[in-house]
Amino acid sequence: MDITSSTAGAAMALKQAQGQMNFGVKALNQNAEQQQATVEALMQSGGGAGDGSGGGNVTPTRGQNLNITV
């Protein structure tokens, strides 16, 4: 087996894997930014920053698991 071609093949595979990882990180970051923008928009439309002063019957539920069925 030729060591040079084996090393070159491994380097190419690593470069491809790094590119795929970078793509995945960018996609996750974009998703997180969209979620943050949604939360900020909801907080602004609610009329208050967590005080339950707007947006219907809002109750503080931090740290609780909610099972809501409709």
For the segment 8-26, the average pLDDT, to the nearest whole number, is: 92
The predicted model scores a pTM of: 0.45
For the segment 25-44, the average pLDDT, to the nearest whole number, is: 90
Is residue 15 very low, low, confident or very high in pLDDT (cuts 50, 70, 90)? Answer: very high
Is residue 52 very low, low, confident or very high in pLDDT (cuts 50, 70, 90)? Answer: very low
For the segment 44-53, the average pLDDT, to the nearest whole number, is: 56
For the chain, domain boundaries: 1-41
What DSSP line would sit under 18-46, residue for residue? HHHHHHHHHHHHHHHHHHHHHHHHHHHHT
For the segment 13-28, the average pLDDT, to the nearest whole number, is: 93
Q: What is the pLDDT of residue 12?
A: 93
- C-alpha distance from residue 68 to each of 18, 38, 46, 55 (Å): 41, 21, 20, 18
